[in-house]
């Protein structure tokens, strides 16, 4: 019998729905916020004064969300337990002057966002999603989830070396999608998006639009023990963190249960178990290009929210310092499962497997923030949750990637541990993971937040 038969697939089913409904960071945070609202959280505006009452709250800023839950009677110096993640994924994004084309083809001018695997965007049916900025300063989410665009690959008859010398793509010339026939007209894309969204095109003053593959997530394999889908890096962690926070805030989260079930009442601060920490979810934008933005992990958003939470509960700078000194962050991002066709690219003694549980990421040069103490924190959470876990270390001959973990540790002076789920095809338009690993990660996060 497949090991996947041991686990309830409800969490992974819910993850697939979340991925399909979140074609952009803006959709991801809106969907996370909706789930938290069902668990009793409420949105607070950064421009308003905050009170120190108990309960669940969240801040939305662009493609980022920071949510936290304050139990009744929490002292101002109470430390935080933070799940860190990011909402953005490598993709193709629409340029400010998008309408282009030649030789009878109408095309859309796009810019490459992040370290995407360019070839995975070829010959796919692509939709369009993101947000529109209106003349009154408000934003409108849009998602045209149907076959609108395509980046066609050159036929092998016209590139005889493609299967011997490899595919070579010029990021400027070869990645512009087609979306029709005829001569391009200035403004036609935005007029089309406006019409589809029921908006007057004259009211649109700006846009943040991106392409997405419209093929839905799906179980894969003989035993359906794998899951294929888009944007797992890193909406898988955003979804798990949202579920874990909701579960802890409503008192429905415990090891062995589905962390996706945090939809009951209780996040008003009543009827929940006593927590030694304030649980937090911080999902940032722009990780894939360095995190340096007002919604990125290298910006002030998280520190500002945490400090305001301390001050709203009557705390002082001393309380803030005490709280930060006792705070721990699990930076949850996808990592590399050992690839059966490229095993030599992996460390020979650290080879994470699909459905082997979440991974602890270690790099002594601090590309990951984990140290021995952090290992203990993660191991304790997994043990409490009854969740198996693995360790990832890069092959010494290969450069190591990085995450928001070192940024969070350095910027805020808080202990940070890098973890995640092992996947294949990272940065592809469609990635692959074990179907049980999202569930295992979510339950480990519940145990971590419960302290």
pLDDT, tens digit, 9 for 90 and up, residues 341-378: 999 999 999 999 999 999 999 999 999 999 999 999 99
| pLDDT of res. 357 | 97
Residue 215 neighbours by CB under 8 Å, 6+ apart: 124, 125, 230, 430
Cβ atoms 204, 134 nearer than 8 A: yes
Which helix or strand (DSSP H or E) is residue 130 part of? strand 126-134
Q: How confident is the model at residue 451 (pLDDT cuts 50, 70, 90)?
A: confident
Q: Rounded to an integer, what distance in angstroms lies between the CA atom of residue 182 and that of residue 94?
A: 20
pTM comes to 0.94
| pLDDT of res. 252 | 74
Write the DSSP assignment of 356-418 as a string of letters.
S--EEE--TTSSS---HHHHHHHHHHHHHHT---EEE-B-TTS-----HHHHHHHHH--EEEE
- The predicted model gives 395-413 an average pLDDT of 96
- Which SS3 state, helix, strand or coil, does residue 348 take? coil
| pLDDT of res. 256 | 38
Q: How confident is the model at residue 178 (pLDDT cuts 50, 70, 90)?
A: very high
Alpha helices in 150-230 (DSSP H): 188-197
Cβ atoms 181, 107 nearer than 8 A: no
Of all residues in the chain, the percent with pLDDT exceeding 90 is 92
């Amino acid at each position: 019998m497949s090991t996947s038969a041991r686990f309830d697939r409800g969490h992974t089913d819910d993850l697939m729905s979340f991925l399909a409904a979140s074609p952009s960071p803006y959709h991801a945070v809106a969907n996370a916020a909706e789930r938290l609202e069902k668990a009793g959280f409420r949105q607070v505006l950064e421009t308003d004064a905050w009170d120190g009452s108990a309960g669940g709250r969240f801040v939305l800023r662009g493609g980022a969300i920071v949510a936290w839950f304050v139990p009744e009677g929490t002292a101002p110096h109470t430390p935080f337990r933070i799940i860190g993640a990011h909402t953005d994924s490598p993709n193709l994004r629409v340029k400010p002057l998008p309408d282009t084309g030649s030789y009878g083809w109408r095309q859309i001018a796009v810019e490459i966002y992040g370290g995407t695997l360019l070839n995975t965007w070829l010959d796919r049916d692509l939709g369009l999603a993101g947000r529109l900025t209106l003349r009154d300063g408000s934003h409108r989410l849009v998602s045209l989830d149907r076959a609108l665009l395509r980046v066609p690959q050159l036929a092998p008859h016209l590139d005889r070396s493609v299967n011997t010398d490899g595919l070579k793509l010029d990021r400027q010339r070869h990645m512009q999608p087609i979306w029709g026939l005829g001569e391009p007209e200035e403004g036609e894309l935005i007029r089309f998006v406006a019409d589809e969204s029921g908006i007057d095109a004259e009211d649109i003053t700006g846009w943040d639009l991106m392409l997405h593959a419209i093929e839905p997530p799906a179980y894969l394999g003989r035993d359906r023990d794998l899951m294929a889908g888009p944007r797992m890096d890193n909406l898988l962690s955003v979804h798990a963190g949202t579920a874990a926070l909701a579960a802890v805030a409503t008192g429905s989260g415990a090891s062995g249960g589905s962390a996706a079930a945090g939809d009951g009442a209780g996040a008003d601060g009543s009827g929940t178990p006593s927590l030694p920490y304030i649980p937090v979810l911080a999902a940032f934008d722009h990780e894939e290009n360095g995190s340096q933005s007002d919604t990125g992990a290298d910006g002030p958003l998280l520190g500002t929210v945490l400090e305001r939470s301390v001050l709203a509960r009557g705390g002082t700078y001393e309380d803030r310092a005490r709280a930060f000194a006792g705070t721990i962050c699990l930076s949850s991002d996808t990592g590399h499962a050992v690839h059966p066709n490229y095993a030599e690219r992996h460390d020979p003694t650290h080879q994470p497997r699909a459905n082997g549980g979440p991974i602890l990421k270690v790099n002594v040069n601090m590309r990951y923030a984990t140290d021995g103490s952090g290992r203990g924190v993660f191991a304790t959470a997994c043990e409490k949750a009854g969740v198996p876990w693995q360790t990832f270390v890069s092959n010494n001959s290969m450069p190591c990637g990085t995450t928001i973990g070192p940024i969070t540790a350095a910027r805020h002076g808080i202990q940070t541990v890098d973890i995640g789920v092992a996947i294949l095809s990272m940065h592809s338009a469609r990635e692959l993971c074990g179907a049980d690993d999202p569930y295992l990660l979510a339950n480990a996060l519940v145990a971590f937040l419960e302290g």
